[in-house]
Copies of this chain bind each other. A is one copy, B any other.
Amino acid sequence: MKFFPKETDFFAIFDQMASNASHATALLVDLLKNFKDIEDRVQKIYNAEQDGDMLTHDVMKKLNKSFLTPIDREDIHALASRMDDILDLVWAVADRIKIFNISKPSEDALSIAGDLDRTVDVINRAITELRNKKYEHVQDLCIEINRLENRIDRNYKAALARLFEKEPDPILIIKWKDIYEHLEEAANRCEDVANTLEAIILKHG
């Protein structure tokens, strides 16, 4: 076995990625709740996104150099890519609040961001359980991720309907539609993570 390099602990990096994503979604909820010091709060989410980039780059580099992987290469690639996407989208939402010079928060954005934060927390627990080979727990947590994603999807559509019904200013409609779409896209990437986790446990369970 001396010929093989020490096996990379991909689960440990996934743990870090998921914690980092949780940190970012909590910051986003905080930003939408306490709508002040925008610049500073957006910067903190940017920092998390940059940390996430480094972790993703680390996974990809180690994946390309590994002969043996504890789970299928394609699943490692998918998990890392989709968790990176979540962070990118959380950062995109925060950034748009600054770019669009949003002066007043939206109840709907806060509510969806809260559910997104909950979903990422469940992803954290699912990744811990995957590492512990508690596959039935992972399965249950995936169902919970899907349930939350469905709720976000419904709330996203309700938010869009309310926006078009109540907001007379087309420019504000453009801005919030864009923000809601990025939030919903982040939830879709959470669902992709759940699908990848389910594929992994089907192969190993």
A100 contact from B164, B171, B174, Cβ within 8 A: B164
The secondary structure that dominates the A interface is helix
Q: How far is the CA of A60 from the CA of B202 in the complex (A)?
A: 10
Q: How far is the CA of A195 from the CA of B84 in the complex (A)?
A: 14
Within 8 A of B (CB), among A132-175: 157, 160-161, 164-165, 170-171, 173-175
B60 touches A199 (CB 8 A): yes
A101 touches B203 (CB 8 A): no
A6 within 8 A of B: no
A157 touches B99 (CB 8 A): yes
A104 within 8 A of B: no
Chain A 168-205 interface mask (CB, 8 Å, partner B; 1/0) = 00110111010000000000000000010011001100
A101 touches B175 (CB 8 A): no
A95 within 8 A of B: yes
Given contacts A61-B202, A160-B99, A202-B65, contact A174 B177 (CB under 8 A): yes
Given contacts A174-B173, A174-B177, A177-B174, contact A161 B199 (CB under 8 A): no
A164 touches B199 (CB 8 A): no
Q: Nearest Cβ distance between residue A199 and chain B, in whole angstroms?
A: 5
The 7 closest A-B pairs by CB, nearest first: A64-B202, A170-B170, A99-B161, A170-B171, A64-B199, A99-B160, A99-B157
